[in-house]
Structure 1
């Protein structure tokens, strides 16, 4: 399954299921094939994603610092995803900002 987020105020944002499910959980929702984010709730949703991004970046930095302390970790690599949460959710956050400004909802699966 893919998530295809749509809004009349912005272009579509497409995510594969694992990433879309992660976004849904960050937003405090159960992953679902269909849904709606209402315009009045978009600022809170964007803030939740931005908070998750900050936490992810802090965890990545701590992991990098820990890896730098050990030669074995450098040789093996950290195993973390190369694409950060910021890179994954930025298009959706921008969609949320534009949709809120235009008073438009975001839907998926419809």
Structure 2
């Protein structure tokens, strides 16, 4: 299922619900329908930036674990496979973070599920 975030501050941001849910959980918002008011935008930006910074600290360790897993599979040790390129939390969160920043500047709300 898709979630479309709408605001007068920026173009719509569309995300899969499974990708938006961790962000909305962090902000204590319901994925089905909700609003981040202009007054809440500053706190939302700070929380999201803090989570992005925390997730970046773990990206290197996770990438190493994926690489070791791929290269040392017990049944098929294939060294010619394509590298798994996971999309990071920060990359997924950035469009909404950008919208939040613009909403804060312009004093606009962000809505979804309406």
- TM-score, structure 1 length as denominator? 0.82
What are the residue-to-residue correspondences of 1:59-78 with 2, within 5 Å? 59-64=58-63, 72-73=68-69, 75=71, 76=73
Query: Quick check: 1:97 aligned with 2:97?
Result: no
Instruction: Provide the aligned C-alpha RMSD in A.
Output: 2.2
**Higher helix proportion (structure 1 or 2):** 1
Flag the 1:67–1:85 CA change in 2: closer, same or farther, 3 A.
closer
Q: Shift of residue 62 of structure 1?
A: 2.7
Structure 1 runs not aligned, ≥5 long: none
Give the alignment's TM-score, normalised by structure 2. Answer: 0.79
SS in 2 for 1:4: strand
Q: Deviations over 1:70-98 (max 9, x none)?
A: xx54605xxx8710111101111110111
Runs of 5+ unmatched residues, structure 2: 74-83
The match for 1:82 among 75, 79, 86 is 86
Between structure 1 and structure 2, the one with the greater Rg is: 2
